[in-house]
Amino acid sequence: MWDDAFPSFLIGLREGLEAGLIVSILVATLVRAEARSRLPQVWTGVLAAIAVAMSFGAVLTFTAASMPQTAQEAFGGTLSVIAVAFVTAMVFWMRRSARNLSSELKQKVTGALAMGSGMLVLTSFLAVGREGLETALFLWTTAQAAGESAGPLTGAAIGLVLAAGLCWGLYRRVLKINLTKFFTATGVVLIVIAAGVLGYGLRDLQEGGVLPGRTAYAVDLAGSIDAGSWYSTLVQGVFNLMPTMTWLQVVAYVGYLVVVMTLFVRGVRATAPKPKPEPAERPATEAPAGPRPRTGRRPAWVIPAAVVAVPAVIAGLAVALGRPKPAGDQTVAVSETDCGKGFTAPAPGRQTFRMHNTGRQASEVYLVDPSTNAVYGEIEGLAPGTTRDLVATVAGGTYAWRCVPASGRAVTSKPVTVRGGGAAKPVTPVSEQDLAGPLKAYKAYVGHGLDTLVGQTGTLRRDIEGGHLDKARTDWLTAHRTYASLGAAYGTFEDFDKKIDGRADGLPGGEHDKDFTGFLRLEYGLWHGQSAKELTGPARQLDTDAAGLRKAFPSQDFDPGDLPLRAHEILENTLQFELTGDTDEGSGTNLATADANLTGTRELLTVLEPLLTSRSPRLLPTVDADIDRVRKLLDAAHDGDHWTPVEKLPAAGRQRLDGATGQLLEDLAPVPDLLEIRKSA
């Protein structure tokens, strides 16, 4: 957690020390001016500043949480860039002001004493409030970058407590710190951290679609750096440097670091101060006590309570108004005869609709543009008598509900028109006809692969019949990889898949069971010392089954909806079985099988490319980069025909491979939804 806590610790220490010094000087000035009765006004201003800062942090947190994912990324990226600007300004301001901070504040306190209690409260509030708002914004952005809040909050708390202790020591004259050197040193570190925050913020803006270049990578070290190692975690947490960075991130990081650091260092050299007593140790110029505050008019707790309550109430209203609003109080009825009853035009923005099935059948429900059939939101399997929320973002345009009962025709509601601007991203529906071309192309690929497979299983059979077991091991891997590359056809090979690539799990006799056949049966025998005589029967059976599959495949039913599903399922099985070593029967070639599965996935995405590109232009470039990353990791795990067994991979290498495959699966997850076949009438 310390890697995520350090940037926040530093900002908490530095901002806390700034604010603490200001408070210390205010208090010391009043004490030496014999105006102790005015101290509650200072603390009231400080309390108000803290309340505003905490309320600001709450608004940032809860408002962002209610946004769509892309909006969250754009919002977070924008605030990260703003935070960098604030931190940069703060670093330069404190470098200039550290020497004269005490005298400037004492002048303000003197004027405030003369003008009354309100001005003293305002002086302390403004003096501390800026530091508090900067701290809240920077903490929020670092928590966003870290993906969790425990580390940044812990670091900030430690920094603030340490800052409070230092300020107390300076006030009591038990400590002496060269504040100019302190703020200079921490300024250098903060500039480096801010450069990382800037890079992270720009990446968020790219992910949110605000800036281009999301897949234009300048650095891609995911294949050679373990993202989970202590050193990688430390660098990512402290400096926000990632193994994979775009050109925009790299240029911005280097440019900011070079320009700002150069200006900062030059400024330090140009304004090197002569040694002066520290602010907390200099005698204060006596200020007039000013008018005594009136007493007896109101309880002492009223103003402090008000300065805390007012920002909290305002923050609560901002959070409440910023959350997605339900579409009025309307509940939209769903049935096989009447769809969309109670639907009225909602306001633009993110809306929540309560869908209630009043019919007798389960139904799928879609919010659509009736002119194009584009889908803005959906619920699958809404059971009779049940109510579920459907959340969708709407903009200016025409909308209607489409209800598709389990049996019967789809029913579409009367359309409504939404006035106003905004942007909403619907999914263009896919029909069986749309998938007919990709399906034909993929069936041709599978058919060609089966022709190749039959030739390879024939070679494997002859190797074993001739007693050439060393050659059989090589030819076994070649044939098995060919079969694994046809992964999208799983589920359409019917019983042939169990015969050709079935596992021993669940069989009474395990690997020795008579029903254990196919590639894994031969793998067990070839790598467990079985003789050619023992393996001849399984080899002939595999050759026969491969030939039977090639003959049967053209007449087998291949559901077009399987194509987009397999884009995710192939590698899901790879992560579950191949990359755990679960299917290894002794050859140690699970990574070779995973590589073949990757080939099958890429072929599938190739035939689906026109449909995917028109619906999500940025998806395939991202997935292609993920596939290349996984491929590099797999390539590093073999030398010629020798593959490293999964269990012998270094822990860091295995973690990198699992992580890269998991990221690929995450980026493939939208494919089934984008290309789901939906009824349009």
Q: Cβ distance 105 to 239 under 8 Å?
A: no
**Dist CA 490 CA 646 (whole Å):** 24
Say how far apart CA 282 and CA 277 lie, in whole Å: 6
The pLDDT of residue 176: 67
What pLDDT, on a 0 to 100 scale, did the predictor assign at position 289? Answer: 44
What 634-642 contacts at long range (C-beta under 8 Å, 24+ apart), as own/partner pairs, is 634/591, 634/594, 634/595, 634/598, 636/223, 637/591, 638/591, 638/592, 641/474, 641/477
566 residue type, one letter:
R
Question: Three-state SS for 356?
Answer: strand
pLDDT score of 199: 83
pLDDT at res. 89: 79
* Alpha-carbon torsion (242, 247, 252, 253), positive or negative: positive
User: With contact defined as beta carbons under 8 Å apart, do 527 and 587 qualify?
Assistant: yes
> For 286-340, what is each residue's pLDDT tens digit?
444 444 444 445 555 555 566 556 656 665 665 555 554 444 456 888 888 889 8
Structure confidence at residue 444 (pLDDT): 93
Three-state DSSP class for 405? strand
207: Cα within 13 Å, side-chain hemisphere: 20
Three-state SS letters, 283-315:
CCCCCCCCCCCCCCCCCCCHHHHHHHHHHHHHH
Q: What share of the chain is helix, strand, coil (3-state, %, to 5)?
A: 60, 10, 25
In one-letter notation, the amino acid at residue 122 is L
Q: For position 506, what pLDDT does the model report? A: 82
Q: Give the global pTM.
A: 0.54
Burial zone of 158 (CB within 10 Å; 0-12 exposed, 13-18 middle, 19+ buried): middle
Provide CB contacts within 8 A for 679, sequence distance 6+. Answer: 364, 402, 404, 410
Cα 657 to the chain's mean position, in Å?
A: 19
Looking at residue 557, the DSSP 8-state letter turns out to be -
Tokens 């301001």 locate to: 93
Task: Write the DSSP assignment of 133-176 as a string of letters.
Answer: HHHHHHHHHHHHHHT-SHHHHHHHHHHHHHHHHHHHHHHTTS--
Query: Which residue ranges in the chain fall short of pLDDT 70?
Result: 1-7, 14, 18, 22, 25-26, 29, 32-33, 60-73, 75-76, 90, 93-124, 126-127, 129-131, 134, 138, 142-149, 173-179, 182, 222-240, 268-330, 421-423, 488-492, 679-681
Q: b/e map of 225-243 (b: 16 or more CB within 10 Å)?
A: bbbeeeebbebbbbbbbbb
Crossing angle of helices 117-146 and 39-65, in 10° steps, is 30
Residues counted in the chain: 681
